[in-house]
Chains A and B, each alone.
Chain A
Amino acid sequence: MTATKHIEMHAVRKAFRFFTLEDLTLELGPGQIMGFVGPNGAGKSTSIRLMTGLLTPDAGEVRVLGHSMPREQAVAKRDIGFVSDDMRLFAHATLGWHMQFVASIYPGWDAKYAQTLVKRFNLRPEQNVSGLSSGEHAKAVLLLALARRPRLLILDEPTSGLDPVARHEVLSEFMDVLRDEDRSILFSSHNTVDVERISDRISFIDRGRLIDSSDKEDFLERWRRIQLQLPAGTTVPDLPHVVSRVVDGQFVTLTTNRFSQDLLAFLGSNVRDVHRMSLEEIFVANVMHHRETRGQ
């Protein structure tokens, strides 16, 4: 028996006047964290609104927890916790009032866990929302989603307004959710350090298109920067899977997205250095490469 995918998007298209999301296909299984990474305006929030049933696709299929979206969103949403950084709580009510409110709607509300989170996040339930700092507000919104214990958390830039300490608290909490193999998280972020640390799968999106989606370890293993020093007067032939080549006299830097020992053996004694790449470097190289191939 195969477990139901928590998110399945197939050939999804959504067009606006100045922006089109095209041919988006991705999957997230239970027990996994997916980092959804893209520059501003890439289509991250549009994709997330399609997943949460806030938008209807022009074409293609969106299924979340086995339910077709947006048609079956009422059922699906019982088990989805959605947080975006533009959500605002009621300014003149306390956090405690919000907790009771959410508890009254969602039967899965875990009051004990909510109390634990209040302590871990250093929040005060009796405080009015209007008195919260922006970081505390972000943590309060996350608390309200986490304490429902949804099977799927969809988080749009959950760490963007947080200081380093708060980010650490929040990321630890995400990993704690994943102790349960039937839960999953999709989160969008610009912060590739956070994504590199906690994601199992990573999807890169740029200008309305998915440019790469794969296991994190797979990304980190495939990409390398190779520095060569060539004998004077020689050049490197065109090689497959080389996404960029910078020549500076006898010194050449190749970036490959399919590193292998064969490639290294082929380049032989010309190789001066081989470097692994951080997720941020991979992301930028990937985006630039795709923009070039599409002639943009």
Chain B
Amino acid sequence: MYSGINISQTDARPMYLQIMEQIRARIVAGDWPMGRELPSIRALAAALSVSVITIKRAYLDLENEGVIVTRHGKGSFVADVNGLAGELQEEKLDEHLAAAAGLGRQLGLTPDDLAERLRRAIRNMDKK
């Protein structure tokens, strides 16, 4: 019986988000490799003593994120993990770029100035 996932009652996040986060962590860490079958919804509900509808919600959202795939009547499986890691990094890049754009505006830089600064940063990295 699988019960490595923890549900905390002092965590303000709803239970389905806590479950999603811990499944994602196992996939990113490589503990749950691509193609691995996830516990069935009812088995995980029983293992965690959490309602079936909560696990369903977590799996559905993970599926919409592309983290897992569900084959009807066969179960849910870990999706292409490279795709996931890549996507997470892309998201991070967008966040950093948005932060840089914000700082640039505060300093009164034009988009061209900012682009030049980015090129300079890349050149500096190549020199090292």
Q: Which residues in A have some Cβ–Cβ distance to B below 8 Å?
A: 31-33, 168, 171-172, 175-176, 178-179, 181, 193, 197-201, 215-217, 220, 276
CB atoms of B43 and A198 under 8 A apart: no
Contact A217 to B16, CB < 8 A, known contacts A178-B42, A179-B43, A181-B42: yes
CB atoms of B50 and A276 under 8 A apart: no
Interface flags for B34-61 (1: CB within 8 Å of A; 0: not) read: 0000000011011001111110010000
Q: Which of B14, B16, B43 has the most CB of A within 10 A?
A: B14
- A178 to chain B: which residues have CB within 8 Å? 42, 45-46, 52
| C-alpha gap A225/B72 in the complex (Å) | 38
CB atoms of A171 and B9 under 8 A apart: no
CB atoms of B54 and A217 under 8 A apart: yes
| C-alpha gap A193/B16 in the complex (Å) | 15
- Check B12 for interface membership: any CB of A closer than 8 A: yes
Q: How far is the CB of A26 from chain B (nearest CB, A)?
A: 16
CB atoms of A198 and B46 under 8 A apart: no
- A199 to chain B: which residues have CB within 8 Å? 51
Count of chain A to chain B residue pairs whose CB atoms are closer than 8 Å in the complex: 47
- B43 to chain A: which residues have CB within 8 Å? 179
- Check B68 for interface membership: any CB of A closer than 8 A: no
CB atoms of B42 and A215 under 8 A apart: no
Residues of B in contact, count (CB < 8 Å)? 17
- A171 to chain B: which residues have CB within 8 Å? 49
| C-alpha gap A176/B51 in the complex (Å) | 11
Q: How far is the CB of B84 from chain A (nearest CB, A)?
A: 24
- B12 to chain A: which residues have CB within 8 Å? 276
Q: Which residue of A lies closest to B57 (CB)?
A: A217
Contact A216 to B53, CB < 8 A, known contacts A193-B9, A197-B15, A276-B14: yes
- A197 to chain B: which residues have CB within 8 Å? 7, 15, 49-51
Which 4 pairs of residues, A with B, have the shortest CB-CB distance? A200-B53, A175-B46, A200-B51, A175-B49
Q: How far is the CB of B89 from chain A (nearest CB, A)?
A: 27
Q: Which of A32, A215, A217 has the most CB of B within 10 A?
A: A217
Contact A179 to B50, CB < 8 A, known contacts A197-B15, A276-B12: no
Q: How far is the CB of A36 from chain B (nearest CB, A)?
A: 14
Q: How far is the CB of A125 from chain B (nearest CB, A)?
A: 25
CB atoms of B53 and A179 under 8 A apart: no
| C-alpha gap A31/B50 in the complex (Å) | 14
Residue of A168, A175, A215, A276 touching B53 (CB-CB under 8 A): A215
Q: How far is the CB of B50 from chain A (nearest CB, A)?
A: 6
- B53 to chain A: which residues have CB within 8 Å? 32, 200-201, 215-217
Q: Which residue of B lies closest to A177 (CB)?
A: B46
CB atoms of A172 and B49 under 8 A apart: yes
| C-alpha gap A31/B45 in the complex (Å) | 12
CB atoms of A175 and B54 under 8 A apart: no
Interface flags for B100-115 (1: CB within 8 Å of A; 0: not) read: 0000000000000000
- B57 to chain A: which residues have CB within 8 Å? 217
Contact A33 to B51, CB < 8 A, known contacts A176-B46, A178-B46, A197-B15: yes
| C-alpha gap A32/B42 in the complex (Å) | 11
CB atoms of A32 and B46 under 8 A apart: no
CB atoms of A198 and B50 under 8 A apart: yes
Q: How far is the CB of B120 from chain A (nearest CB, A)?
A: 37
| C-alpha gap A31/B52 in the complex (Å) | 9
CB atoms of B15 and A175 under 8 A apart: no
- B52 to chain A: which residues have CB within 8 Å? 31-33, 178, 200
